[in-house]
């Protein structure tokens, strides 16, 4: 039975066999037949480009809570309800924060236990906890707001999370950076293998067409500087990023 031959145009050597347009070309001396090779993508470069920018946050989420302890669950809950109502009134009436921007994020009443060898574990009072999450947009007044909430009875200010309200406004910028990053990677690969970079064949966005936002969080116990003038909050910057999967032709 005779050998089959095909002219190798733009061939790529794979495991001792030349792949030509998806067909196996067998060199002289190899007693095998040419066969179609399925699923082999040739002469392309696939890279992932990442684009990232740093922007000033324009919105913050504040966690402001109140704890109360009493002998009974009902008493603890009642005392806490009065405190959280005072804080809520301050936010709405004095600071003019919309009710839509004030949300209960955590609420519970739990027993407190003591233990002794003689009596074992016993319930000694109850603690009620209520946390409000506040959406706030005036970055330069956050410290002042937290101080006012503390004076009104908030005794559990947990953290402040900074972010960007509309990350889609930065989509064009991060996409441009992602494409530029992919171009650099693909060009370097083509140069290394002594080929030339051709046209872009396909582009897909790896994060569902919406830029990924990396918010920053400030811990009240760690990052909020206390001074005679009040709490100072540093907003810093947040990251907006995206990734693109790009396939280039390789000449």
173-184 tens-digit pLDDT: 999 999 999 999
- For 102-237, strand residue ranges (E) read 102-116, 120-136, 156-163, 197-205, 212-214, 216-219, 225-227, 230-232
Reply yes or no on whether the pLDDT at 111 is more than 90.
Answer: yes
Q: How confident is the model at residue 9 (pLDDT cuts 50, 70, 90)?
A: very low
Between these two residues, 233 and 229, which has the higher pLDDT value? 233
At 234, the pLDDT band (50, 70, 90 cuts) reads confident
Average pLDDT over residues 232-236: 86
What tokens does 147 get?
């101080």
Exposure on the CB side of residue 68, measured as CA atoms within 13 A: 22
Distance CA 44, CA 245 (A): 13
Decide: 163 and 62 in contact? Cβ < 8 Å: no
State how far the Cα of 28 lies from the Cα of 103, in Å rounded to an integer: 77
pLDDT score at 174: 94
Q: What is the mean pLDDT of residues 102-107?
A: 96
The confidence score (pLDDT) of residue 71 equals 95
How many Cβ atoms from other residues are within 10 Å of residue 232's Cβ? 13
User: 7-24 burial, b if ≥16 CB within 10 A, otherwise e?
Assistant: eeeebeeeeebebbeebb
Report whether 246 contacts 230 (CB < 8 A): no
pLDDT at 6: 42
């Amino acid at each position: 039975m005779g050998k089959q031959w095909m002219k190798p145009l733009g061939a790529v050597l794979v495991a001792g066999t030349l792949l030509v347009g998806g067909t196996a070309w067998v060199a002289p001396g190899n007693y095998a037949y040419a066969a179609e090779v399925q699923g082999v993508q040739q002469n392309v470069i696939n890279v992932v480009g990442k684009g990232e920018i740093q922007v000033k946050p324009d919105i913050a989420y504040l966690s402001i809570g109140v704890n109360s302890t009493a002998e009974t669950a009902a008493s603890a809950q009642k005392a806490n309800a009065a405190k959280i109502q005072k804080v809520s009134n301050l936010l709405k009436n004095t600071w003019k924060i919309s009710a839509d921007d004030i949300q209960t994020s955590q609420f519970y009443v739990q027993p407190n236990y003591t233990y002794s060898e003689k009596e074992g574990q016993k319930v000694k009072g109850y603690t009620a906890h209520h946390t409000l999450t506040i959406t706030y947009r005036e970055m330069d007044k956050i410290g002042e707001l937290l101080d006012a909430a503390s004076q009104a009875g908030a005794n559990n200010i947990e953290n402040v999370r900074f972010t960007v309200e509309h990350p889609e406004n930065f989509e064009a910028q991060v996409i441009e950076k992602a494409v530029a990053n992919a171009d650099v990677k693909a060009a370097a690969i083509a140069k290394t293998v002594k080929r030339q970079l051709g046209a872009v064949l396909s582009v897909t966005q790896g994060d569902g067409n919406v830029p990924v936002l990396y918010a920053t969080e400030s811990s009240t116990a760690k990052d909020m500087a206390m001074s005679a003038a009040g709490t100072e909050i540093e907003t810093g910057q947040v990251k907006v990023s995206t990734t693109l999967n790009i396939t280039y032709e390789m000449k």
